[in-house]
Amino acid sequence: MPRVVAMSEPPVLIPHAPGTNRDTEAAAAVAAAGGDPRIEPVADLAPADFSGYAAVLLPGGFSYGDALGAGGRLALELQAWFGAELREFARSGKPILGICNGFQALVKSGLLGCRNFTLAANAGGRFECRWVTVRVEGDCRSGWLEPLRDSLIRCPVAHGEGRLAAADPTAAAELERAGRVAFRYLASGSSGGAAGVAGGAYPANPNGSVNDIAGMCDPSGAVVGLMPHPEDHIVDWQRPSGPAGARGSALFEAFVEAAR
């Protein structure tokens, strides 16, 4: 049954698969940005009808234990059960955001339009939790990220399989050319200029991602995914140290704004 959409507080669907675990923080970030987060178990979502929602947020965690590769099982369900609905959702311009495990699932399901990329094991060979700085790329084609262009976000990463890897050397260049790189890891302490990228160096680029890419968007710009967790930096006391600002809350404000 489609819900009545109250545009003052756009309803944001947060699907919860077994093993999803950053759903409550994502919901808190959405609520703080003026949205109406609704965490729904995947079991209750089929058959898919997302017409009552203004945005979809796929949160972090270990869906199905990542037993067949990070996000792989969830990707299968996104495709098999929700694929048509999500594609239509994005085509109508409604924003879809995948964070960490949600990003992995978006990539592997093809919903980000980049089957020539994957998220592989971190270059360091193990799970890594640390704060990073990412820049929202100025030439990113995503319309709803526009208010954030060239701004910085500081927030933690926490993943074992976050290395963006391309099938061939030209794939990354094509992604860049198409304006689909949305977030890039910066060197620590960098204020964002062109020279400030991590340059592949650990730990600023915590996983060895190609071209320091931390997140990307689909060709339409409506679907956005990233490995770091902006939802873990929406108030100042969450930040370990360093200057004020660069909160992840700005990303959720743009996300909710696009859903209005």
Residue 131 structure tokens = 């704060």
Which range in 49-57, 83-91, 137-145, 200-208 contacts other proteins by CB under 8 A? Answer: 200-208
Q: Tell me if 231 contacts other proteins by CB under 8 A.
A: yes
CB 89 → other proteins: shortest distance, Å? 20
Q: Which residues are catalytic?
A: 100, 229, 231
Q: What is the pattern of x (binds other proteins, CB under 8 A) and - over residues 123-142? A: x-xxxxxxx-----------
CB of 20 or CB of 142, closer to other proteins: 20
From 188, 190, 220, 249, residue interacting with other proteins (rule: CB under 8 A): 188
Assess 165 for contact with other proteins (CB under 8 A). yes
Binding mask 24-43 for other proteins (x = CB under 8 A): xx--x------------x-x
Q: Is position 241 an interface residue for other proteins (rule: CB under 8 A)?
A: yes
Closer residue to other proteins (CB): 81 or 146: 81
Contact in structure between 70 and 109 (CB atoms under 8 Å): no
